Structure 1
Amino acid sequence: MNAARLYLLLHVFLSAGVLVHTFEPFTTTMVVGLGLGTLGRTIYNYLHESCDSKWIDFNATGLEVDLESKLFGQHIASRIILKAVTGFMSNENPKKPLVLSLHGWTGTGKNFVSQMIADNVYKEGMDSSFVHIFTSELHFPHLSHFDTYKTQLQQWIRGNVSNCARSMFIFDEMDKMHPGLIDSIKPYLDYYDRLDGVSYRKAIFIFLSNAGGEGIIETALDFWKAGRDREELELKDLETVLSLSVFNNKRSGLWHTSLIDKNLVDFFVPFLPLEDRHVVQCVMAEMKARGLRPEQKVADQVARDVVYFPKSERVFSVKGCKTIASKLDYYT
């Protein structure tokens, strides 16, 4: 339905004395009573996000382009994310939900990738009512409320998946989450057709964590010291050390979790530390996003002022691209 058609329908509604400023269920009932039920539902669905193909329509090409043009220095993560999400969203009958665990140092792109996935699955992107974000320090701050958090988390996920099977749940700061809490949703991530009448198999769960970052950095640094190109790094070089370090790290939020023990995490995705050249790319992309003409001189200056480690060699950015936006304000 185009905008002109919608405007005409709204004018008809107003002329008929029907309340159209808010299309809540009560309003729809009024419309049905007036013999205009189908029309009311059409306008309601046009104006309000609903769990259908109009609002949820995966764009595989869009995700691929975003990963290639906006995510820098993450050849392993890009490849895994694209294949995992594309394969899952193309399957009309998946056996279980998609569970991704993204690991790496701050500023390497974990949150950014979550946003890219949401932007290419939901018309409203991260603003979609079907995308739910949990932050450990905000939503689960007190260990004394542990049992309450477990119950609330279960109810929240059950309720939202009941409302829309294609829901996405993002758990940020997993390294700050109370160990054992995430196990409360283990049944929802397993190979069950239905639990109490609800199927969770089309949902997406994404865990974001700094845990395992040290191992990733050590491996990347070893490659650099050996004179090897970082693009030679493969998932097999990091996957085992990553899953073991996360499982055995009491501060990971996934410490001794049955999610790992039962192989319910589909992919542990490593995010590599960023080099100077990647920081430059981040600056150029930020200038472009702001509508500015990307200037190599400015990008180089911002990148030079970023803190790197090890101190003597200045190989990797301590904060990745996390502070780029604020630093760019200083130079533009």
Structure 2
Amino acid sequence: MKLLNAAAAFLILLPTLAPALDPLSASLLVATAAVTWDLLSPQSWLRCSLLECCHVNNTLNYSALKVQLESRLFGQHLARDVVLKAVQGFSTNPGRKKPLALSLHGWAGTGKNFLSQLLVEHIHPAGLRSKFVHLFLPTLHFPHDSQVKLYKDQLQAWIRGNVSACPHSVFIFDEMDKMHPGLIDAIKPFLDYYEQIDGVSYRKAIFIFLSNAGGDLINKAALEFWLSGRQREEIQLKDLEPVLSVGVFNNKNSGLWHSSLIDRNLIDYFVPFLPLERRHVGLCISAEMQARGLPPDERLVQAVLEEMTFFPREQEIFSDKGCKTVQAKLDIHEGAAGARR
């Protein structure tokens, strides 16, 4: 602000200074002043081309996000559709009453982190590297049981300060199942239906919670569908969300155990991630091969699949690690193939 005021004062004096200079110097002075003014002005095109600005369109590029999720997120029709509808409705609603809160649940490797990554890249192009996207890991940021009170104060201060700087801030809480019970309740005021808190509105922010908690409930439902001969694509949110929210609320290891966020209905969507079948893991392997510039090779895909484990033991329907170990397994087989060549 001081620099901006100084630039303004300089521009006011510019007409007085310019006549005392030769034409070339005067032109350079005027051009330099214009560039300086543009650089110091918030949200200027030049400034935002060089530095990241909190400048988000009123509407999300729904079509681009939809294409990304459909082509890169495998086996998660339910999570894809729910999140797309949620963020589209949120971004196009000028009368929103609260921030958007999404709670993503499912076993490791099913795509929770990947979906979150794709989503934030369509809000802030720098994605997880953006200074307006904040990722919290309980084991890193909140490691000690004895410091929960301090963590609550720090978390509130961090959210308050960053939303003040950028109303479109995104906050991601990973590994919620490792969060100290009660800690997450510290953010309850920011998720509630308040127009402002101490002069700050939180209604444009997005909060995303990621957890393995409830994964067993989701897997059980998916298995029941399979055993009954129904397609997984027939599973709807109404089949899982009620039992999932109750299960997470009553699970001491969920991070949302007896949380006011659930009790006050402040989480907008509980988003289930289904266990991945063999065909979905195969798509993950092919996508990783493509990302590495490898040619299509069905034999390599099958070789990596043979390294994966599936459950239940009798039928081997679902991958117990999803796509989480695909990169490591492919490293081994790619290295072996290279050695043979």
Task: Report the TM-score when normalising by structure 1.
Answer: 0.88
Amino acid at match of 1:101: S
The one-character-per-residue Cα deviations of 1:72-94 (angstroms, maximum 9, x if unpaired) are 11111111011001111112331
Q: Which of 52, 58, 69 does residue 55 from structure 2 map onto? A: 52
**Equivalent residue, structure 1, for 2:173:** 171
Q: Equivalent residue of 1:292, what SS?
A: coil
How far is 1:317 from its partner? 0.6
One-letter code aligned to 1:143:
D
Distance change in 2, residues 1:92/1:313 (3 Å): same
What SS does the corresponding residue of 2:272 show, helix, strand or coil? strand
Cα distance in 1 for partners of 2:48, 2:235 equals 47
CA contact (8 A) 2:288 2:327 kept: yes
Alignment of 1:82-97 (within 5 A): 82-97=84-99
State the alpha-carbon separation in 2 of the partners of residues 161 and 294 from structure 1. Answer: 45
* SS across alignment from 1:206: strand
State the distance in 1 between where 2:5 and 2:278 align.
60
Match of 1:38 in 2: 37
Contact 2:59/2:92 (8 A) holds in 1: no
Deviating more after overlay: 58-67 vs 262-271 = 58-67
Question: CA distance change for structure 1 residues 89 and 294 in 2, over 3 Å: closer, same or farther?
Answer: farther
What amino acid is the match of 2:51? H
| Distance (whole Å) between structure 1 residues aligned to residue 59 and residue 290 of structure 2 | 27
Task: Report how far residue 173 of structure 1 moved.
Answer: 0.5
| Letter paired with 2:327 | A
Which residue of 1 is the match for residue 27 of structure 2?
Answer: none
Q: What number of residue pairs does the alignment pair up?
A: 307
Which letter maps to 2:52? E
**TM-score (structure 2 length as normaliser):** 0.86
The one-letter amino acid of 2:38's match is L
Specify every segment of 5 or more residues in structure 1 that has no aligned partner in the other structure, as ranges. Answer: 1-24
Deviations 1:206-251 (A, max 9, x none): 0000000011111111112222221121111111111111000001
Indicate the residue corresponding to 2:226 in structure 1.
224
* Alignment-mate amino acid for residue 110 of structure 1: K
Sequence identity percentage: 57
Match of 1:110 in 2: 112
The structure that has the greater radius of gyration is 2
Q: How many Å separate the matches in 2 of 1:157 and 1:106?
A: 27
Give the SS at the match of 1:240: helix
Amino acid at match of 1:316: F
Alpha-carbon contact 2:121-2:127 (below 8 Å) kept: yes
In 2, the alpha carbon distance for the partners of 1:196 and 1:104 equals 36
Matched residue, 2:286:
284
Contact 1:119 1:126 in 2 (8 A): yes
In structure 2, give the amino acid aligned to 1:249: N
After superposition, the CA RMSD in angstroms is 1.7
The equivalent position to 1:192 in structure 2, one of 175, 191, 194, is: 194
Q: 1-side partners of 2:162 and 2:95: how far apart?
A: 19
Letter in 2 for 1:46: S
The 1:295–1:134 alpha-carbon spacing in structure 2 relative to 1, beyond 3 Å, is: same
